[in-house]
Structure 1
Amino acid sequence: MIDGVKHIVAVASGKGGVGKSTVTVNLALALSAQGYRVGVLDADIYGPSQAQMLGVKEGARPKPAGEKHFHPMQAHGIQAMSMAFLVNTREPMVWRGPMVVGAFQQLLTQTLWDNLDFLLIDMPPGTGDIQLTLSQRVPVSGAVIVTTPQDIALLDARKGIEMFRKVNVPVLGIVENMSLYQCEKCGHQAAIFGTGGGDRIAEEYDTQVLGRLPLALSIRELADAGHPSVVSEPESDISKTFGEIAKQVAEQVAGQSHDGPSISFSE
């Protein structure tokens, strides 16, 4: 286990563009709002986005601790580490696979996480090196799969679920993002990406839909501005949905602990 971390939860998707990073940061903030100590590790080495979503200023760097370790950055009451804190994000990361895996392992093991109940790992899209490295090197309490109802996204979500099951990581459930669009002017609702996709894949793999999130302009705008929905609009329906997802994740992780839950759960 990683020092200073009780439970690791991977937030993953089979493909990019489904809102995985936005779900990760809001889920982390929802867990924090429920009284847990939470950290976020941005494992997307090529395209880190958590720094911007958490409102960390460009160029901010973590404080070193000795020769090999560093302290996580702090934002909105949670701990965070990202490649964006260590390099110039305006320049591309032109690295081969082994270099990316090495960087991920350094971020994970050389960060001095401070007594976390949950470390959420914002995984890169796909089922590649970093996913395998994570599952082989540290005990992962569970994975949350983010998808949209679109058929092509569901195909990739299936691959993500299968991958985690092959490496014995429990799939806690599915978050169906962009499930419904509601016009802000007239209130008309439209299932732009289809309907029922999350339910179908949950039934197929004997898991559950943890929550459904709308295709809403505010979610994107607030995350881009560094003040995600859960902290900017805590009483909104969107934030309440993230709160319900967070509660289910925490309860499932506790239920999987062989020695019983080590943290208390708020109502």
Structure 2
Amino acid sequence: MVGIDQVLEKLSTVIDPDLKKDIVSMGMIKDLELNDGNLKFTLELTTPACPFNVEIEDDVRKAIGELTELKNFDMNVTAKVMEGRSLDADTGMASVKNIIGVASGKGGVGKSTVSLNLALALQQTGAKVGLLDADIYGPSIPLMLGMKDGFMEVEDNKLQPAESNGLKVVSFGFFAEQAHQAAIYRGPIISGILKQFLVDTNWSDLDYLIVDLPPGTGDIPLTLAQTIPITGILVVTTPQDVASNVAVKAIGMFEKLNVPIIGVVENMSHFICPNCDERHYIFGDGGAKKISEQFNMPFLGEIPLNSGIMSGSDVGKPIMITKPDSPSADAFRIAAKNIAAQCSILAAKLQEEMESEGSNEESAPEASTN
């Protein structure tokens, strides 16, 4: 009769394509029970947005199927997002597993639209997602979500995020007095507002917090990088050289601050003719891929140019909500899954580093005292 060791040996042949490790050593097999040839366990994926979840599940079933002595097999598939940042070092936001800053070198690349739809795509996989509109000078997320009358309450000295389409949302645009006024603040005040939105907000338990940063390399991106441990930065650009060349400066800033770069997404990548389905590269071709190759970072997706994306943002109806089966929504969904995968990879590296540091501390000789 087959034993537990044989089951685990078979399961250890299944490799997570992103993490490059077997699912047993990664602790993805939970609650394993084997009684009289009846096998039961839970496969716990590293994120509900795993791009290879179907592939991993199929590989598991195939591996178990090779154990011909089993009578029955019951597998439950769940997901638990890995912590892609050091929560021990962040007492203010210890309930947020991953913080992803969305940056661009310049304005006009559709960064806020990308941030919003990626957040919605992650939420639709079953993840718990928050969206922080960190552009204090020009907050646009409330408009894009149709939340012109949205507001945030304060309870127990904590800001309570507004909610929309399953997202927890915080934005300076919710403050009514700013509706028709330009935000004129110096850097220290701006940094203080962002810190309050980060650590003085009840984000509760989030798998991912998407932070829509203002363009450029100013106070807000710097404050984010220096205030809390973050998982990494997602860079948004458009294909033309003007945008990609400026995006390189943002990448350089975060590299100097030792903040990981999750990867790059190309917005307005191409236009698909509705009559002939032919792709037209209106703003050039390959800008984001050049950045990816230059900095050896993942190219995570390309979002087509689509009037529905733009008009939906203007009237508070994101395309992930209004047209979830469209090619544009599919593009956001692919990018979101790739981003989630990169977060899992960074989390696995962080886990290895922490385990290595722990073992080094245990093996270090004690200092002798004479």
Q: State whether TM-score is above 0.5.
A: yes
Contact kept, 8 Å, 1:149 with 1:194, in 2: the verdict is yes
Instruction: Give the deviation of 1:60 after TM superposition.
Output: 2.5
Choose the corresponding residue for 2:179, options 89, 92, 96. 89
Q: For residue 47 of structure 1, what is the amino acid of its counterpart? A: G
Instruction: Give the deviation of 1:252 after TM superposition.
Output: 1.2
Choose the corresponding residue for 2:191, options 82, 101, 104. 101
Matched, 1:148 2:223: no
Q: CA separation in 2, counterparts of 1:118 and 1:129?
A: 23
Instruction: Give the deviation of 1:3 after TM superposition.
Output: 3.7
2:357 aligns with: none
What is the 5 A alignment of 1:107-118?
A: 107-118=197-208
What is the 5 A alignment of 1:35-74?
A: 35-56=126-147, 58-66=148-156, 68-74=157-163
Q: CA separation in 2, counterparts of 1:183 and 1:18?
A: 21
Q: CA separation in 1, counterparts of 2:296 and 2:279?
A: 29
1:259 aligns with: 351
Give the direction of change, closer, same or farther, for the CA distance of 1:255–1:189 in structure 2 (3 Å limit).
Answer: closer
1:33 aligns with: 124
Q: For residue 161 of structure 2, what is the amino acid of its counterpart? A: P
Contact kept, 8 Å, 1:4 with 1:112, in 2: the verdict is no
Matched, 1:160 2:250: yes
Q: CA separation in 2, counterparts of 1:27 and 1:47?
A: 20
Q: CA separation in 1, counterparts of 2:237 and 2:210?
A: 17
SS of the counterpart of 1:120?
Answer: strand
1:227 aligns with: 317
Q: Which has the higher contact order (CA 8 A, sep 6+)?
A: 1
Q: CA separation in 1, counterparts of 2:294 and 2:333?
A: 26
Q: For residue 104 of structure 2, what is the amino acid of its counterpart? A: S
Q: CA separation in 2, counterparts of 1:149 and 1:162?
A: 19
Matched, 1:138 2:228: yes
SS of the counterpart of 2:246?
Answer: helix
Matched, 1:249 2:335: no
Instruction: Give the deviation of 1:15 after TM superposition.
Output: 0.3
Instruction: Give the deviation of 1:256 after TM superposition.
Output: 1.3
Q: CA separation in 2, counterparts of 1:91 and 1:183?
A: 40
1:264 aligns with: none
SS of the counterpart of 2:178?
Answer: coil
1:265 aligns with: none
What is the 5 A alignment of 1:182-201?
A: 182-184=272-274, 189-201=279-291
Instruction: Give the deviation of 1:188 after TM superposition.
Output: 5.5
Q: For residue 191 of structure 1, what is the amino acid of its counterpart? A: Y
Normalising by structure 2, report the TM-score.
Answer: 0.67
2:109 aligns with: 18
1:75 aligns with: 164
Instruction: Give the deviation of 1:181 after TM superposition.
Output: 2.1
Q: CA separation in 2, counterparts of 1:242 and 1:211?
A: 8
Instruction: Give the deviation of 1:88 after TM superposition.
Output: 2.4
Q: For residue 83 of structure 1, what is the amino acid of its counterpart? A: F
SS of the counterpart of 2:351?
Answer: coil
The one-character-per-residue Cα deviations of 1:135-159 (angstroms, maximum 9, x if unpaired) are: 1111110111000011110111101
User: Please, which runs of 5 or more residues in structure 2 have no aligned partner?
Assistant: 1-89, 353-370
Contact kept, 8 Å, 1:143 with 1:169, in 2: the verdict is yes
Q: For residue 137 of structure 2, what is the amino acid of its counterpart? A: Y
SS of the counterpart of 1:94?
Answer: coil
Q: CA separation in 1, counterparts of 2:282 and 2:331?
A: 20
Instruction: Give the deviation of 1:235 after TM superposition.
Output: 1.1
- In terms of Rg, which structure is larger? 2
Residue range with higher mean Cα deviation, 27-36 or 190-199: 190-199
Instruction: Give the deviation of 1:83 after TM superposition.
Output: 0.2
SS of the counterpart of 2:291?
Answer: helix
The one-character-per-residue Cα deviations of 1:62-106 (angstroms, maximum 9, x if unpaired) are: 12113x322100001110000011242221111111111111111
Aligned length: 258
Contact kept, 8 Å, 2:142 with 2:150, in 1: the verdict is no
Contact kept, 8 Å, 1:59 with 1:88, in 2: the verdict is no
Instruction: Give the deviation of 1:168 after TM superposition.
Output: 1.3
Give the direction of change, closer, same or farther, for the CA distance of 1:252–1:189 in structure 2 (3 Å limit).
Answer: closer
User: Please, which runs of 5 or more residues in structure 1 have no aligned partner?
Assistant: 261-267
Identity, % of aligned positions: 43
Q: CA separation in 2, counterparts of 1:62 and 1:133?
A: 22
The one-character-per-residue Cα deviations of 1:43-74 (angstroms, maximum 9, x if unpaired) are: 00000001111221x243212113x3221000
The one-character-per-residue Cα deviations of 1:224-257 (angstroms, maximum 9, x if unpaired) are: 2212111111111111111111111111111212
